[in-house]
Amino acid sequence: MPRSVAPHPEERSQRARFEGRAAPLQFLTTPALWVAILFVALLVTMPDTGPIFHWAFPQVEPPVYQRGTFVALFLSHAGIVGVASLAATFTGIVAAIFVTRPAGRDFRSIIDALATIGQTFPPAAVLALAVPAIGFGPLPTVVALYLYGLLPIVQNAVAGIETVPPAVRDAAAGMGMSPLQILARVELPLAAPVILAGIRVAVTIGIGTATIGSTVGALTLGTPIFDGIGGNKIPLVLQGAALVALFAIVTDLMFARLEDRLRPSSAR
Amino acid sequence: MIEIDRVRKTYDGRTVVDDLSLTVPDGAFCVFLGPSGCGKSTTLRMINRLVTTDSGTIRVDGEDIASLPEAALRRRIGYAIQSTGLFPHWRVEDNIATVPRLLGWPRGRIADRVTELLELFRLAPETYRRKYPHELSGGEQQRVGVARALAADPALLLMDEPFAAVDPITRDALQAELARIHKSTGKTIVFVTHDIDEALRLATDIAILNRGRVAQFATPQDLLENPASDFVRDFVGTQGIGLKLLSVRKVRERMRPGETAEGAPISADAPLRDALSLMTVRAAALLPVADESGRVVGTIALSDLVR
């Protein structure tokens, strides 16, 4: 039966996206880019918004956070979330791999329980407990975010690995792949979109939660918020909150793009 | 040659394979046939050690499979299963190349082999090699699954109900293709099914399994003509047994050599069932019979079918 060689247009665009051969200016139409530009612009120009905030809140002095640059706050914030998320991702995936092996199957419920405890334990309480043990600074926040991020990552990684069809695993073993080859070439690539979704949740929530780290000496975009709350300075709260929200949205949109890229190859 | 010698497998106290012995000769198309739970699939999976035996030995070409490294054993045995198990994140060419890559074949040789196999299964290579499994129809996926099993040119092919999940028309086409490939490559095939008609159509030897034991191991014709037990008789089915017999007997066995008749000839290797079908369609009681080269070598009459 003769078949048309030209792929269906939709299929073609999907393929192009997967292979990174998108149309040259297509990226201009993605919201992630525009929100990112807005975020960076706001980050850099926030100190120049003094007159606006002064006009809106004349009694607040100074009208803009001045104890450091927003860029420095952002870098510290991103660093804390980044380190905690990387650590949670690494442990989460290793744990998920372990409990989905025949040898680790019995530990499944224990790992699930531990991850759930990590999630239900409020990060503020983790901070309160961590500070006496490890002191002020960014580290307690990293610990709190790490514990908080484990659950979605472990759960998604386990779910992702378990969605690999048994027939696929059977075929891989039957053709002589070693357990390690099955993991690296079949299970993890197929689970990747689901694992990434878990990381996305952990990171996005982590960006918001990291702000409370400012109460125990971590520099984050939450610092102006808590300064504002403490000194009854609404503009500082607004500045910090706007930047945190935008930061979370940009990150989320970027993860969405990344998931899109992973998905066409493993659709179904 | 596969020698299965007194193998046994028990799951949680339930004996699935019970002291089973069987020898599959080289080049055979051996079908393990039986009701679900009879141990046919387990026995098949013991041959490439996806299932370990509790006792007994299995030898492939004289070598005890337990003495071979698991991965090496599996890489030299083709394996195709129901619902294909194609890797959804790999293109058709990558799927077919799985075992050659594990064996470290050079790129060029792998690419040539993929082209060769796609052509063998009548899938245009330039159209199909870059497709993902989800872009294929069920029948195409199953073809790729079998092509993948054949990729490293194994002498032995294990197939676990490979066509159970496709529609009847596609299954018919796939069976015809597999029969053609078996004939042209001379590979030893062990094929699991619960479909008696599929077994009769494809097999050179059928092992009917029941409760983990071999109820009968015979050629399709022998199985129909001389069932060894009531179980075999019941499983083969008494209804339509005549048509089943016609489908395993060849025109060659009943033809009248040297005579000629009018009309397009039927192949001497075709089953008598096809001859009956053709006679019905043409409303003719006599057909010419041709050999492989197409030369008319005799005739077959309606009365020859029931002799």
pLDDT tens per residue across span B66-97 = 999 999 999 999 999 987 789 999 999 999 99
- pLDDT score recorded for residue B259: 85
Report the gap between the CA of B16 and the closest CA in chain A (Å).
19
Q: Which ranges in chain A belong to alpha helices (H)? A: 9-18, 31-45, 50-56, 70-99, 108-120, 123-134, 138-162, 166-174, 179-181, 188-209, 222-230, 234-266
CB of A77 closer than 8 Å to CB of A220? yes
Q: Is B46 helix (H, G, I), strand (E, B) or coil?
A: helix
Whole-number Å distance between alpha carbons of B49 and B172: 30
Q: Between A31-45 and A70-99, two packed helices, what is the crossing angle to 10 degrees?
A: 140
Interface check for A260 against chain B (CB to CB < 8 A): the answer is no
Arithmetic mean of pLDDT, A114-120: 81
Three-state SS at B229: coil
Q: B8 CB contacts (<8 Å, ≥6 apart)?
A: B15, B17, B18, B19, B20, B53, B54, B55, B56
Would you say residue B265 has pLDDT above 80? yes
**If you average pLDDT over residues A120-143, what whole number do you get?**
86
**Is residue B50 left, alpha or beta, with left meaning phi > 0 and alpha meaning psi from -120 to 50?**
alpha
Q: Which of A50-54, B114-118, B204-208 has the lowest mean pLDDT?
A: A50-54
Contact A227, A236 (CB under 8 A): yes
Q: What is the ipTM of this complex?
A: 0.82
State the smallest CA–CA distance between residue A256 and chain B in angstroms: 19
The answer, yes or no, to whether residue B54 has pLDDT greater than 70, is yes
Instruction: Note whether B83 contacts A165, CB cutoff 8 Å.
Output: yes
Give every CB contact of residue A98 below 8 A, 6+ residues apart in sequence.
A104, A107, A111
List chain B residues with CB under 8 Å of A181. 102
Distances (CA, A) of A18 to A13, A253, B133: 9, 17, 16
Q: Which residue of A has its CA nearest to B96?
A: A175
State percent of chain A over pLDDT 90.
Answer: 40
Compare all CA atoms of chain A with the CA of B51 and give the residue at the minimum distance.
Answer: A174
Looking at residue B114, its pLDDT comes to 95
Q: CB of A171 within 8 Å of any CB in chain B?
A: yes
Angle between helices A188-209 and A70-99 (to 10 degrees): 140
Q: pLDDT-based confidence at A265, cuts 50/70/90?
A: low
Rounded Cα distance between B298 and B74, Å, is 47
Q: Which of A10, A175, A190 to mutate to test the interface with B (most CBs of B within 10 A)?
A: A175
Neighbours of B280 (CB within 10 A): 10
Tell me how far apart the alpha carbons of residues A168 and B296 are, in angstroms, rounded to a whole number: 49
Contact B45, B160 (CB under 8 A): yes
How many Å lie between the alpha carbon of B290 and the closest alpha carbon of chain A?
29
- Cβ <8 Å between B48 and A174: yes
Pair A216, A136: CB distance under 8 Å: yes
Residue of A nearest to B69 (CA): A176
Is A176 in contact with B86 (Cβ distance < 8 A)?
no
DSSP class of residue B250? B
**pLDDT band, residue A121 (cuts 50/70/90):** confident
Give strand pairing partners of B77. B156
Question: Are residues B166 and B145 in contact, defined by beta-carbon separation less than 8 angstroms?
Answer: no
- From residue A78, how far is each of A240, A248, B190, B191, B200 by CA, in Å? 14, 10, 59, 58, 68
A189: nearest CA partner in chain B: B89
B99: chain A residues, CB-CB within 8 Å: 175-176
CB-based contact A165 B75, cutoff 8 Å: no
Of B85, B89, B148, the CB nearest to A189: B89
CA A183 to chain B, closest CA, distance in angstroms equals 13
Q: What angle do CA B184, B186, B188 make, to 5 degrees?
A: 140
pLDDT tens-digit readout, A203-244: 999 999 999 998 888 889 989 899 888 888 888 888 899 999
For residue B69, is the peptide bond before it cis, meaning its omega torsion is within 30 degrees of 0? no
Q: β-pairing, B286-290 with B296-301?
A: antiparallel
Maximum Cα interatomic distance, chain A, rounded to a whole number of Å: 80
Q: Which DSSP category does B194 fall into?
A: S
Q: Evaluate if residue A20 carries a pLDDT over 60.
A: no
Q: How many CB atoms lie within 10 A of CB B113?
A: 21
Phi, psi of B2 (to 5 degrees): -115, 125
User: What are the residues whose beta carbons fall under 8 Å from the beta carbon of A9, sequence distance 6 or more?
Assistant: none
Contact state of B102 with A265 under an 8 Å Cβ cutoff: no
The three-state secondary structure class of B24 is strand
Question: CA nearest B160: which of B190, B126, B134?
Answer: B190
**What's the CA gap between A242 and B88, in Å, rounded?**
42
Distances (CA, A) of B112 to B116, B129, B145, B174: 6, 12, 18, 23
User: B83 and A159 in contact (C-beta within 8 Å)?
Assistant: no
Q: What pLDDT score does A18 carry?
A: 47
Nearest to A240 by CA among A251, A250, A229, A249: A229
Predicted confidence at residue B305, as pLDDT, reads 85
- DSSP code of residue B168: H
CB B269 within 8 A of CB B275: no
Task: State whether B83 and A173 contact (CB < 8 Å).
Answer: no
Residue whose C-alpha is closest to residue A160's, from A259, A16, A14: A259
For residues B27-36, average pLDDT: 92
Residue-level pLDDT at A15: 45
Min Cα–Cα distance to chain B from A228, Å: 51
B205-210 vs B188-193, strand pairing mode: unpaired
